[in-house]
Amino acid sequence: MGLALALERQGIPTVPVSTHVFARLAKATALAEGMPTARNVFVPQPVVGRSPAELRTYIEGIDPISKRPFMQGVIEGLTRPLGAEDFKDASFERNIPRLLEPEREDNLQELFIRNSWTDFLPIILPTEERVERMLKGTKHARDKIVGRLQPTAYRESWEFDVEKVAVNAVMAGARPEYLPVILAMAASGISARSSSTNSFATISLVNGPIRNEIGMNSGIGALGPYNHANATLGRAYGLLSQNLQGGSVPGDTYLGTFGNFLNYSACFPEAEERSPWSPFHVDEGYRANESTVSIFFGGWYTQSGYGPRETWKEKFIRCLTADHFSPPLIVMDPLVARGFVDLGFTKRSLIEWCAENAKLSARDYWDDQWVGTLLRPLAVAGIEPYASRLKAAPDQLVNLFTPDDIKIVVTGGETQAAFKMFAGRLQKPAPGNFLGGTAINIIDEWR
Amino acid sequence: MGDKITVHDPRGFPPKVTGKRLANRLERLDGKVVYLIDCLFENSDNFMVQLGQWFAEHLPSVSTRIIKPRECWIDDPDMRATIAAQGNAAIIGVGL
């Protein structure tokens, strides 16, 4: 859609074709781009998996949105002269008030739900007094611009300041001392409410002294609803993402076919004191006495196991090859990490083993829809490691990930020698990363 | 529950939208070059092949050329420059 509008600005009449489930999104995108009369046409969903003959029936059939012949819409879209509607000034401004009109509490709760400003769990209403109290959690001015967020790459991005982040932190039930973490999450530029059809989620990892300062839980139940800070930090990140980016409303600003349980809250600290290895943020180049929040993007799958047991290699390979596209964030109980130490592994050597052994046949690898969509063009352009994977014979095994893709974090209560692998990509500037943002964010800058 | 209270609006600041005009449309397609842009979503390539065949069968005076951006979802100014220099119109799909 963005490309179509860019061509229009270059003087090339362009017709964007989408499937009908994206009609509202196409309209909203055109409106936000200042071209509300863009001449979209639609075919039925899905296009994926349809044979050439079936695609031809789409082309020769009816546009499910306009209810007219599809090709009539295409030809008219390119040839019908611009009319009065096209010449209307499509400029507009949207002024968001700082405060809402005074209202009874129950009516405000209903208003927040009606406007899709919540995650449909009860919220704390952001009164002036509560927001003032929250703002005491940072030395930064309330009107300091923190950053921008957008539901996905081609959507408009909205800006926000410290106060707006504090408002959402209040709604999530967070305490003022958590605010620097929440500001760092917001400043990442990575939305916890991606609009992708893939139903992505983010998983946030906190490292450094702030974990203990604010009482986060890296012990029993670290990944679950058993700690105020863990729970409300993850929730605050979700709420601020949806409200500060301009919404996360199904059909408009959210298209995930399933949604994702991890969207409610997914934030935990590393058990640095009980890990046999250096903390995650230190491995990534930060000082041990710095506090960071690292954002992993994915949340498609969760694999679980025990170990390291006699057949751990087979188990790991099954888990590592669970998905073609999303590299794993491997979360280990300290018992598991120590077990790998006993087997002679460092964290790095275990990551290298995982990268070396996570393989699929080239046929299987390239048959994945998302690999084909995002990575095949990079392979065709000669960008490694994708180009080599594309050159492989269909039955040849190709590596799914590089060592830098795979991350290991230690947390948990040592009640079970268990590990989990989550789909979790640490976003970095690289070909194929269309989302942008900063994956590892220093919390101390927001104290 | 009876007293009215004042709360903050939780939304961020949307950008100002500046209206832009669509390109002038073509008087006719006869003799024109229409680029069919495969946006790289799965099966878009096959869709564009079928669309090209439809033009060949029903509007043979229209010349169609299939073209692809370098990456999915990322602008490709070089591709746009090619279309602007050598084409008269474009159809892009299937996706957003």
What is the tens place of the pLDDT at every residue in A307-345? 899 999 999 999 999 888 889 999 999 999 999 999 999
A57: in domain:
yes
**When comparing pLDDT for A374 and A350, which is higher?**
A350
Res A373: pLDDT: 81
Q: With contact defined as beta carbons under 8 Å apart, do A240 and A168 qualify?
A: yes
Tell me which of A10-19, A105-114, A147-156, A219-228 is least confident: A147-156
Rounded to 5, what percent of chain B is helix, strand, coil? Answer: 25, 25, 50
A379: in domain:
no
Q: Are A152 and A279 within one domain? A: yes
Interface of B with A in 28-87 (CB under 8 A): 28-29, 34, 37, 39-44, 46-47, 49-51, 53-54, 58, 68-76, 80, 83-84, 87
- Res. A155 pLDDT band, cuts 50 70 90: confident
DSSP character string of A65-132: TT-SBHHHHHHHHHHSPP-HHHHS---B-----SBPPPEEHHHHHHHHHHTT-S-SS-----BHHHHH
Res B96: pLDDT: 53
- Domain range for A293 is 111-302+429-446
Q: What percentage of chain B carries pLDDT values higher than 70?
A: 97
The tokens for B25 are 């449309």
> What is the value of pTM for the model shown?
0.93
- Domain range for B78 is 33-93
Res A266: pLDDT: 98
The tokens for B96 are 């957003």
- Measure B85 CA to nearest chain A CA, in Å: 10
- What is the pLDDT averaged over residues A30-53? 94
Q: What percentage of chain A carries pLDDT values higher than 70?
A: 98
Task: Please answer yes or no on whether A16 and B74 come within 8 Å at the CB atom.
Answer: no
A314 contacts: CB under 8 Å, gap ≥ 6: none
| Partner-chain residue, chosen from A34, A112, A373, that has the shortest CB–CB distance to B41 | A373
Interface of A with B in 259-298 (CB under 8 A): none
Chain B contact for A433, CB < 8 A? no
Res B74: pLDDT: 80
Work out the angle between the directed axes of helices A179-187 and A228-244 (0-180°, nearest 10).
40
pLDDT in tens, A404-438: 999 999 999 999 999 999 999 997 766 666 667 89
Written in H, E and C, the secondary structure of A230-283 is HHHHHHHHHHHHHHHCCCCCECCCECCCCCCHHHCCCEEECCHHHCCCCCHHHH
Res A434: pLDDT: 63
Res A36: pLDDT: 95
A331 contacts: CB under 8 Å, gap ≥ 6: A223, A409, A410, A411, A412, A419, A420, A421, A422
**When comparing pLDDT for B73 and A168, which is higher?**
A168
pLDDT at A447 over 60: yes
Interface of A with B in 204-263 (CB under 8 A): 239, 243-246
pLDDT at A64 over 90: yes
Evaluated on CA atoms B95, A436, A234, A315, the torsion sign reads positive
Res A431: pLDDT: 61
- What is the pLDDT averaged over residues A348-354? 98
| Partner-chain residue, chosen from B27, B42, B83, that has the shortest CB–CB distance to A372 | B42
Q: CA–CA separation, B85 vs B33, rounded Å?
A: 11
Residues of B in contact with A9 (CB under 8 A): 20, 23
pLDDT in tens, B19-34: 999 999 999 999 999 9
pLDDT at A119 over 90: yes
Amino acid letter at A343?
A: L
Residues of B in contact with A245 (CB under 8 A): 12
Res A233: pLDDT: 98
Q: Where are the alpha helices (DSSP H) in chain B?
A: 44-58, 77-86
pLDDT at B70 over 90: no
Residues of B in contact with A97 (CB under 8 A): 9
ipTM value for the complex: 0.94
Q: Are A194 and A272 within one domain? A: yes
Tell whether omega for the bond before A431 is within 30 degrees of 0, i.e. cis: no
- What is the pLDDT averaged over residues A184-198? 95
B7: in domain:
no
Q: Are A230 and A121 within one domain? A: yes
Q: Are A68 and A155 within one domain? A: no
Q: Are A151 and A259 within one domain? A: yes
Which residues are paired to A253 by β-bridges?
Answer: none
Q: What percentage of chain A carries pLDDT values higher than 90?
A: 86
Domain boundary among A87, A119, A140: A87
Q: Are A238 and A278 within one domain? A: yes
B12: in domain:
no
Q: CA–CA separation, A254 vs A234, rounded Å?
A: 19
pLDDT at A179 over 80: yes
Res A445: pLDDT: 97
Tell me how many degrees the CA angle A312-A363-B52 measures, rounded to the nearest 5: 150
- What is the pLDDT averaged over residues A122-148? 98
pLDDT at A240 over 70: yes
DSSP character string of A177-198: GGHHHHHHHHHT---SS---TT
Q: Are A71 and A171 within one domain? A: no
Res B73: pLDDT: 75
